[in-house]
Structure 1
Amino acid sequence: MAATKLTHSYLLMKRTAHSMLWLLMMAMPSALLAGQCPTTLTQAQPPSRGSEQNRTGVTVRAEQLVSKAQQTEARGNVEVRLPDSQFLADQATIDAASGAVRASGHLRFESDSVQMHAEQLTADSRQQKVTLDGAQYQLRGSAGRGKAGHAEIDVRSGLLLRDAAYTTCPEDDESWQIRAAEIGIDARTGYGHAKHMLLYIGDVPVLYLPYLLFPAKNERTSGLLAPVFENSDINGQELALPIYLNLAPNYDMTLTPRWMSERGTLWESEFRYLSEHSQGQVDVGYLGDDKLAEAPTPSRRYQFRWRQDSRWGPHWKMALEYHRVSDDSYFFDMGRDLYSSSIVQLRRDWRLDYADDEWQFLARVSADDALNAQTDPYRRYPQLAFQYQPVKDHWTISGEAVRFERDAATSADRIHLRTGYQLSKEGLSGFFRFNGMLDWRYYEQRQPSGQQDQLTITTPMVSLDAGVYLERRIGLFSHKWLQTLEPRLFYLYVPYRDQRDIGLYDTGAPIRNYQWLFRTNRYTGIDRLGDADRLSVGVSSRLYSASDGREVFRWGVGQAVNFRSPRVDLVSSVPDAASVVNQTDAKETPIFFDAQLSPYEHWQASSSIEWRPDTGQTEAASFRLQYRRDDKHLLNVAHRTRRLVDGGSVEQIDLSGVWQVAPQWHMLGRYYRDLANDQAIEWVAGVAYEDCCWAIRLVKRRYLSVALDAFGQPLANTIGRYNTGLYLEFVFKGLSSLGNTGFLQKSISGYQDPFFSN
């Protein structure tokens, strides 16, 4: 969930979007209201002849009015206005003493929420009750309509329909409808009920519920949510039936038995809670006896995940995540898509932060767990850090103390201090920044054999950063543009310090790009501070439309020149240290180029290239093109390639899209392939039909269930397997859906599924 200010609506979002057959006429999920059938609601026109108002608040207009004692008889184009509604009829009788109204003949009743045609009407204006027989209704604000043999409307107590039917299809179209012996909505409690309810597709009943309690307002209530049907090669046929429990206004739970024909029943629960300062979620999954489990995978499978975010005032916040599974294959077997099956690391992290205008503090404990025979990250037991930067001064100081531990490996205590002084001059035409720093590190390392050593490293650092902003107005392609040119120079000096006797506890090599040229350390983390005597030269440019200020084109190109060959690398002499083979640049770095292009409203393209001029080889390149007019006209083309330092390579192509091929038909699909290993990672092919009241979607998907690294490659020493599934989804607009193709939003970049709410 996005990190926004927490309110009680946090607990309402997911459930109201997935309500099953509840909210028949009152609170329909907005995702299912999109594209509904147009209605034929009309406004009542007042008659042209005499009118009369009695002391009960009833106004009568008709071509002919006849008053006898306490009764008024109206005939011909009768319009009766009640306190909260009105109706038209051929004839009506109004009792001024009791407020009773009776009407018949071409009767049309209207209120703020509904329009009805009925055979006859009886109303009590004093009690604000209306009864209609032989009614046909149309809801305002949605396409919902239907019939009721008997309808009772009470402003204070609610609505009661007997022998009722409901659909969102247009007149003379009964593609689907709900029929019930009785539907009642209690305005005082906000709940409704239905008795002996049947869901019909055409003339065929497909679902029966003897009794149903549902919320008639946008509020939560306990009950069944929409069932999910799936099938796959790995698990066979699947049926999940979520049960929602509204335990309290500030916490709830969803319990989901997920039956898999090949494995058994996996019990999943999602518990969410909310307090004045915190929000959190606990997810549990348990399968007591997996019928497909083979050693070393246990037959008892489980997952536990706890997440919590807290905030106290403007300065303090806390974050907690603890994730545990029974075995490395849990996500392969229980995951529902490519992304969940490729989880390779479980977070176990607690952190407390403080921040004001000058001070920042951090206290942290972490013990992440790596899956599939990967080396576990070092545990931080604990980590304490601070930073102080006076608002009206140019110097800063930061520090950290942390203990690193890992089973059967070298452990270490690290203390890090850095102080710096910065001078900067910023203006509309450019900038100049000077930064001088002194970095101090202390290590106490303990090997499993018992040997200990202490190391202290002090390193000065100096950087100069300068840039100029130039702009001009140009005419091109019959349009006027504003173009900028932004040259930049960045000089960095860091003397060499031998660091091979230090282990790699939280340090690695980042993916390099144009912005990497302007970093003060070419590595991530603290265990390696790269030596440097180099000048980075870059230039970037932007092109804006002069008419609306829209950025059309942006690019940047740059390279760094080393006056002294860098020597610091990611090799360590510490026993069992995870040394990394990395490439250091001798005289010059590769040339980096990044670009983004948006030539038209619906088109976007981006590209990134890393090219070595000394060898003439492209180290890495990526290209992405997207056309997106709407959710039914979307195309994606992407290609990625990268040379690895160990001599291998990565090359992938990703094609996906959704396209409307006829007014009510659209196709969708994805083809994601690993060209280097000549294997498909995922492919999806589907077809969908949609009209204004229902939709159906048939999708076939095949994906590689295997853990992937940061480049999208299968991890070393892992064996993947393909999972193939056929998915059929029915959508009843204004009601709910049966089936689940929510994975399409992850598979097709930029796609917003109108029938799926997460």
Structure 2
Amino acid sequence: MKVTRITNLSKSSIAVAVGFAIANSAFANTIPVTRSESVSVSTKRLPSEKTQSVSTVSSFSEKVTSQMNTQTSRKYMENEHFADASTFPMRIVNKLNDNPWRTAPNLPIAAKDLACFYGVPSYRDPVDYDVNTTPVTVTADSVSGNLLDKATQKLVYKGNVVIEQGDKKIKSDKAIYSGKDKTITTVGDTSEFSAAEYTVTTPDKVVSHLDEKVVELGYSRFVLNGAMLNGTALKHVLDNKNGTKTFEKATLSTCPIDKRSWHLSSSSVTMKKGDSFGDAWNDVLYIGKVPVFYTPYANFPITNKRRSGLLVPSAGFSTSKGISYAQPIYLNLATNYDATIVPEYDPDHHDMISGEFRYLPLKNISGYIKGTYISNDPSWETQSSDKTRWFVNIKQDAWFFDHDLNVNINYSKVRNDDYTYISDVSQKAIDISDSSLLQSLKVSYAQTHYDLSYEMRKYQNMYTTTNYTSFRPFAMMPQVKASWYNVHNSFSYTIDTEATNFNLDKMRYNKQVNAQRFHVQPKINYHVYDSYGTTFDLGLTGYLTQYAQSDLQYMPASYAQKMGYSSYSNNITRALYQFEAGAKTTLERKVLDMNHTQTLEPEIKYQYVPYKNQDDIALYDTTERYDDYYTLFSSQRFAGIDRIAVLNSITVGLTSRILDVHDRETFRFSVAQAYDFVEQRVRIDSTDDHPKQHRSPIEARVDAMPTEGLSIHTAARYDPLDSKIYNFNTSLKYTDNSGFSAGTSYRFYRKGNYLIENQERADLHQIGFEMNLPLSPRWRLFGATYRELEQSYNIDTKVGLKYDDCCYTVTFLYEDYMKMNWNKMKHKQNKLFGVQFELKGLFEMGVSGIADPNGTSTHYIPSLDLSNLNR
């Protein structure tokens, strides 16, 4: 019963909104204007057959409401399987195209709060017009008076009076024009002054002084069109001559005007044309009817322009350590330069200061510099007495020649030997590769048939090799790439080239190791057949690589196995080729209710690459690659070109989809397996035995959306020869229109976990749950938990309880996540508790240490986001 009432109200609301938007013209902006000293007045009778706006609104609203509530329309809209039914409301709402409702650029009304602010007028762009030549037009049902009577010189307008100039309007029941006083005065129960950016209503009279260019209103209520902000004023004066607006004894709030949980009260508020900020005096913040804060003066923004000052602070509480607090300070240095400085106290690291400087010197150059400085970190376990820690990150993007030429800088660094900084100190938006910080300068140039790139890349290792089985990655100083590609009839051509100089500092005898790699890879593809859903392609690729690596003699012996070589040659030239042939077809049939379509898409591919012993080539930037359905059809069995796999294989795959009546995909199943006619003798670790089996594990995956809001994903890697599942992951998520969502996930990787304590591999078994549960229209409970089953420890648990009112929110948060102590090689739990409070549009107190205070993303794992089959 409750649902029915809400549905009926929604339809009625749509109808009224549509009618209101069509019947009303744009609200006008309160731009200060001037008028000429001489005022000419003329009157004329409007055609009697002109339809009035109110009757148009009422008629249209009644017709739409009636039509949408008929039994036929209800049944029509309930059938979600007909495209016309799903577009029926949209076709009605499309009537708004000529006059759509819009949110304001400042303090816009959020979609979830639209019901709270029902009736707020639409925002309109101000219209630029000449105030000296644009006439003031007054329309009404009737007009009477005598301008020739020198004693009075009055005209009296009655009934639906609209006074208009440009895009500004005053509406009233009655208006009196005085030629003697040069005024227009409205009389009636309610007068409305509307503008593009805000609307004012008053029960008192509105007096417009034509000579002084001043409009006076008594007690009034005002609302920013399309925005949350609204207020009241005992007196409201618009001085168009001086370009000022003054509100006496004013209140201001972002709550609905008839339901204020909080408001600001000021003795006087002034705004001036051309200024970016307004002034308010004797300001008091009320929570309910209780004053909680006072300031004699406040300066507030009225445009998008920025100003230096304090930003919203954040605070957090740890049950084991205490309170953390951060106070951001914003610095508006120039129109294209600004900065944020954040002094902070953290119970773990004590005094910290972070900063970010952003710059846009030219429209094609932008970037930022971030940094964090900790003067004395008591939590850092180091042998040095100096416990100063710091971090810097520089990013810059520049483009030239219409984005054809791009220059990118990405540089991150911490103090030398501070291997645990990233795990100890939460740092956002940094790029880490193989436990190392990226330091890169890249220049790229792209054209229709070729592209070029030049990159210098280094890394700062974030793990000490004495405690972790890792090694420092090679720097590329530099790497130059060039590619050319073209198409001619059924042929496509590609040539990829690369020249890279690898180096590694401070190896044995304090030597720098240098190695060079030159690579050329031409490819030609012939599109043999493409018709009726069937394709057949042939391809031929060449690999020519030359290495100069005599400096490997300076590498420690322990690096040989890690870098994949048992012995090495100073100069090596490797020449290989690949032949491939692939075919795919798509078959369809009608299934289920004969309105669904099932496809059957078999795919087969043959690949041949001859064997070449590569055990004397080091692994400079190559590693193992995770296999799935799609990689079985790729010739790149390794991530990188230092190893090229021997192939004489056939890969067979099958994909089946189910499409609904709208051809939207609701189910997809894929399975593939490769058969190698030869043993795979090319390997990453030169000491590993090459696999004897010829059949690859079976790769399978399922993605499904069986009902609205329900998504399922499953993927597995199964080896039938030893009857073992090597990888398996599955996740399920359900979301409905009420805001409820629930999801679960599980993943298993055989030998996919690394035990730091004893440097052994173990199976990975992880399970997770997440939920968003609306308890009422205002209360919401959300949380997520993830646990490692094999080693029996909690990865991350988070719980939040949120109250969301029209004008404020309160969120209680708790999170308990695993944190690694790299010095002691042990896990420990870090527990946080915090309260986030927000007065919408005014103030927000955040929670330090909790990345997503409003959702189910945790410290380590983001919220489930399953594949959208129709994206």
TM-score (norm 2): 0.73
3-state SS in 1 of match to 2:423: helix
Return the alpha-carbon distance in structure 1 between the equivalents of residues 156 and 589 of structure 2: 75
Q: Tell me the CA shift for residue 591 of structure 1.
A: 0.4
Aligned match for 1:664, one of 778, 782, 785? 778
Aligned match for 1:304, one of 372, 392, 411? 392
1:557 aligns with 2:671: yes
3-state SS in 1 of match to 2:570: strand
Distance 1:261 1:179, change over 3 A: farther
Answer yes or no: is the 8 Å Cα contact 1:408–1:448 preserved in 2.
no
Return the alpha-carbon distance in structure 1 between the equivalents of residues 591 and 381 of structure 2: 69
The aligned counterpart of 1:362 is: 453
The aligned counterpart of 1:424 is: 527
Aligned match for 1:85, one of 169, 174, 191? 169
The aligned counterpart of 1:655 is: 769
Structure 1 stretches lacking a partner, 5+ long: 1-24, 44-54, 574-580, 708-714, 753-758
Return the alpha-carbon distance in structure 2 between the equivalents of residues 302 and 519 of structure 1: 43
CA RMSD after TM alignment: 3.5
Question: 1:49-86 CA distances to partner (integer Å, 9 max, x unpaired)?
Answer: xxxxxx98374869996666245386987946253231
Answer yes or no: is the 8 Å Cα contact 1:494–1:532 preserved in 2.
yes
The aligned counterpart of 2:36 is: none
Q: Tell me the CA shift for residue 683 of structure 1.
A: 0.8
Return the alpha-carbon distance in structure 2 between the equivalents of residues 33 and 732 of structure 1: 16
AA aligned to 2:778 is Q
Return the alpha-carbon distance in structure 2 between the equivalents of residues 381 and 520 of structure 1: 28
Return the alpha-carbon distance in structure 2 between the equivalents of residues 644 and 244 of structure 1: 48
Return the alpha-carbon distance in structure 1 between the equivalents of residues 698 and 824 of structure 2: 34
Return the alpha-carbon distance in structure 2 between the equivalents of residues 649 and 179 of structure 1: 63
The aligned counterpart of 2:495 is: 397
Distance 1:355 1:41, change over 3 A: closer
The aligned counterpart of 1:316 is: 405
Answer yes or no: is the 8 Å Cα contact 2:381–2:823 preserved in 1.
no
Q: Tell me the CA shift for residue 315 of structure 1.
A: 2.8
The aligned counterpart of 1:503 is: 618
Aligned match for 1:279, one of 363, 366, 370? 366
Q: Tell me the CA shift for residue 602 of structure 1.
A: 1.4
Answer yes or no: is the 8 Å Cα contact 2:449–2:485 preserved in 1.
yes
Structure 2 stretches lacking a partner, 5+ long: 1-103, 123-133, 465-469, 557-567, 753-759, 867-871
The aligned counterpart of 1:468 is: 584
Distance 1:500 1:165, change over 3 A: same
Q: Tell me the CA shift for residue 515 of structure 1.
A: 0.9
Aligned match for 1:383, one of 479, 497, 501? 479
Return the alpha-carbon distance in structure 2 between the equivalents of residues 261 and 210 of structure 1: 35
3-state SS in 1 of match to 2:255: coil
The more displaced of 642-651 and 529-538 is 642-651
Alignment of 1:245-264 (within 5 A): 245-260=331-346, 263-264=349-350
Answer yes or no: is the 8 Å Cα contact 1:401–1:414 preserved in 2.
yes
The aligned counterpart of 1:49 is: none
Q: Tell me the CA shift for residue 256 of structure 1.
A: 2.1
Return the alpha-carbon distance in structure 2 between the equivalents of residues 526 and 538 of structure 1: 26
Answer yes or no: is the 8 Å Cα contact 2:315–2:324 preserved in 1.
yes
AA aligned to 1:446 is D
Answer yes or no: is the 8 Å Cα contact 1:640–1:650 preserved in 2.
yes
The aligned counterpart of 1:19 is: none
Question: 1:431-487 CA distances to partner (integer Å, 9 max, x unpaired)?
Answer: 2222242433323231354999423243322232322322223121x2512222222
Question: 1:116-162 CA distances to partner (integer Å, 9 max, x unpaired)?
Answer: 22445433234443222333334432343322222222456242222
The aligned counterpart of 1:592 is: 699
3-state SS in 1 of match to 2:631: helix
Q: Tell me the CA shift for residue 657 of structure 1.
A: 2.0
The aligned counterpart of 1:619 is: 726
AA aligned to 1:461 is Y
3-state SS in 2 of match to 1:350: strand
AA aligned to 1:269 is G
3-state SS in 2 of match to 1:218: coil
Distance 1:593 1:26, change over 3 A: closer
Return the alpha-carbon distance in structure 1 between the equivalents of residues 819 and 554 of structure 2: 40
Alignment of 1:17-32 (within 5 A): 27-29=106-108, 31=110
Answer yes or no: is the 8 Å Cα contact 2:808–2:838 preserved in 1.
yes
Distance 1:262 1:446, change over 3 A: closer
Q: Tell me the CA shift for residue 617 of structure 1.
A: 0.6
TM-score (norm 1): 0.84
Question: 1:87-125 CA distances to partner (integer Å, 9 max, x unpaired)?
Answer: 437x87643244234566744332132132244543323
Return the alpha-carbon distance in structure 2 between the equivalents of residues 73 and 322 of structure 1: 74
Answer yes or no: is the 8 Å Cα contact 2:319–2:832 preserved in 1.
yes
AA aligned to 2:497 is G
Q: Tell me the CA shift for residue 554 of structure 1.
A: 1.5
The aligned counterpart of 2:808 is: 694
1:332 aligns with 2:432: no
Return the alpha-carbon distance in structure 1 between the equivalents of residues 137 and 493 of structure 2: 79
AA aligned to 1:589 is S
Return the alpha-carbon distance in structure 2 between the equivalents of residues 225 and 32 of structure 1: 25
Larger proportion of strand: 1
1:185 aligns with 2:284: no
Distance 1:140 1:585, change over 3 A: farther
Answer yes or no: is the 8 Å Cα contact 2:319–2:833 preserved in 1.
no
Distance 1:377 1:212, change over 3 A: farther
The more displaced of 684-693 and 199-208 is 199-208
Question: 1:245-293 CA distances to partner (integer Å, 9 max, x unpaired)?
Answer: 2222322222222233564432222122222322211112223233544
1:57 aligns with 2:128: no
Answer yes or no: is the 8 Å Cα contact 2:712–2:733 preserved in 1.
yes
Return the alpha-carbon distance in structure 2 between the equivalents of residues 42 and 357 of structure 1: 49
Return the alpha-carbon distance in structure 2 between the equivalents of residues 724 and 173 of structure 1: 38
Distance 1:412 1:631, change over 3 A: farther
1:610 aligns with 2:717: yes
Return the alpha-carbon distance in structure 1 between the equivalents of residues 226 and 812 of structure 2: 30
Aligned match for 1:481, one of 596, 602, 609? 596
3-state SS in 2 of match to 1:377: coil
Q: Tell me the CA shift for residue 213 of structure 1.
A: 2.9
Distance 1:204 1:738, change over 3 A: farther
The aligned counterpart of 2:550 is: 445
Return the alpha-carbon distance in structure 2 between the equivalents of residues 189 and 97 of structure 1: 35
Answer yes or no: is the 8 Å Cα contact 1:128–1:155 preserved in 2.
yes
Distance 1:162 1:255, change over 3 A: farther
Alignment of 1:159-238 (within 5 A): 159-232=245-318, 236-238=322-324
Answer yes or no: is the 8 Å Cα contact 1:514–1:556 preserved in 2.
yes
Return the alpha-carbon distance in structure 1 between the equivalents of residues 431 and 607 of structure 2: 42
Return the alpha-carbon distance in structure 2 between the equivalents of residues 279 and 692 of structure 1: 37
The aligned counterpart of 2:234 is: 149
Aligned match for 2:681, one of 550, 567, 575? 567
Answer yes or no: is the 8 Å Cα contact 1:29–1:735 preserved in 2.
no
Aligned match for 2:194, one of 73, 91, 111? 111
Answer yes or no: is the 8 Å Cα contact 1:620–1:641 preserved in 2.
yes
Return the alpha-carbon distance in structure 1 between the equivalents of residues 320 and 359 of structure 2: 34
1:434 aligns with 2:513: no
Answer yes or no: is the 8 Å Cα contact 1:99–1:125 preserved in 2.
yes
Q: Tell me the CA shift for residue 209 of structure 1.
A: 4.2
Q: Tell me the CA shift for residue 165 of structure 1.
A: 1.1
AA aligned to 1:250 is N
Return the alpha-carbon distance in structure 1 between the equivalents of residues 282 and 164 of structure 2: 33
Q: Percent identity among equivalent residues?
A: 24
Answer yes or no: is the 8 Å Cα contact 2:108–2:227 preserved in 1.
no
Distance 1:296 1:100, change over 3 A: farther
Q: Tell me the CA shift for residue 652 of structure 1.
A: 0.9
AA aligned to 1:524 is A
1:521 aligns with 2:626: no
